[in-house]
Amino acid sequence: MRRELHAEWTKLRTTTGPGRLLLALVALTAAASAAAAATVSCPSAGCNYDVPKLSLIGVQLGQAIVAILAVLTISGEYGTGMIRTTLTAMPRRGAVLAAKAAILTGLTLVAGTVAVLGCVLAGRLILPGNGFTPAHGYPPLSLADGPTLRAAAGSVLYLVLIALFSLGVATVVRDSAVAIGVVFGLLYVFSILPFMIADPDWQRLLWDISPMNAGLSIQATVHLSSLPLSPWAGLGVLAAWAAAALLGGGLLLRQRDV
């Protein structure tokens, strides 16, 4: 698969769009977390915040950029017609999709790590000035703390899984606008459905299968017993969505003429 990897890396490296999206991922994710940290406060009477999760709230914005990058990785070629050239030069279609997924994973890992570190740094610098101090039970954010490290590392994995999920969806539908609409709908619209239904059993089910709600459970560090899903189980739900999307996309890619 070396040839496919080299080709996909060359495509991404020689176009300006992916680089700008990766920079936007880092900047906007950290900025959103900084803005959230600046707007909350912990009064002298105390408060009840999950500080690591609060500091990582920018991931909810960053995932949109990751989704757009992933969708354009393949649907952009369908839009320009370059996909025919790609599949003619590299007829092993499964290998082409795997190469796209591998390059996308590497880029998202790097940019996502920088973005998440920026979120943690923003929380560490801003929150103490808003009352989140050791006196109120909130020591400075540190990756040396096990739950905080798990939330941060899990957030990076979350972004990677969002990228793979979006790539799979884009491979299925092939159109950029439709693919982005489907991904955003499954992430953002699906996430609010549990709050629109009164039946508690349906609420729990919809929460458990929502890719965003379940996946972001990985950021929780307090009151874990009250969560519908444990942090790693929630991330597993998102992994299942990503695997299903990639499998469906791979099968359709092999069966279609293009």
Q: Which residue type, as a one-letter code, is found at position 249? A: G
Query: What is the pLDDT at residue 100?
Result: 96
Q: pLDDT 10s digit of each residue in the chain, 258 long?
A: 788 898 888 887 888 889 999 999 999 999 999 999 999 999 877 788 999 999 999 999 999 999 999 999 999 888 888 888 888 888 899 999 999 999 999 999 999 999 999 999 999 999 999 999 998 889 999 999 999 999 999 999 999 999 999 999 999 999 999 999 999 999 999 999 988 988 888 999 999 999 999 999 999 999 898 888 999 999 999 999 999 999 999 999 999 887
Cα separation, 4 vs 67, in Å, equals 22
Say what the pLDDT of residue 16 is: 81
Distance CA 96, CA 100 (A): 6
Q: If residue 169 lies in a helix (H) or strand (E), which one and from where to where?
A: helix 146-173
CA distance 156 to 69: 16
Q: What's the pTM?
A: 0.95
Q: Residues with Cβ < 8 Å from 178, sequence gap 6 or more?
A: none
How many residues are listed for the chain in this entry? Answer: 258
Residue 75's pLDDT is 92
Per the CB < 8 A criterion, the answer to whether 83 and 244 are in contact is no
Q: Are 155 and 55 in contact (CB under 8 A)?
A: no
Q: Are 185 and 88 in contact (CB under 8 A)?
A: no
The answer to whether the CB of 97 falls within 8 A of the CB of 123 is no
* C-alpha pair distances (Å), 256 with each of 14, 226, 235, 251, 253: 28, 46, 32, 9, 6
| Helix 82-89 with 59-80: angle, nearest 10 deg | 80
Distance, C-alpha 247 to centroid of its chain: 19
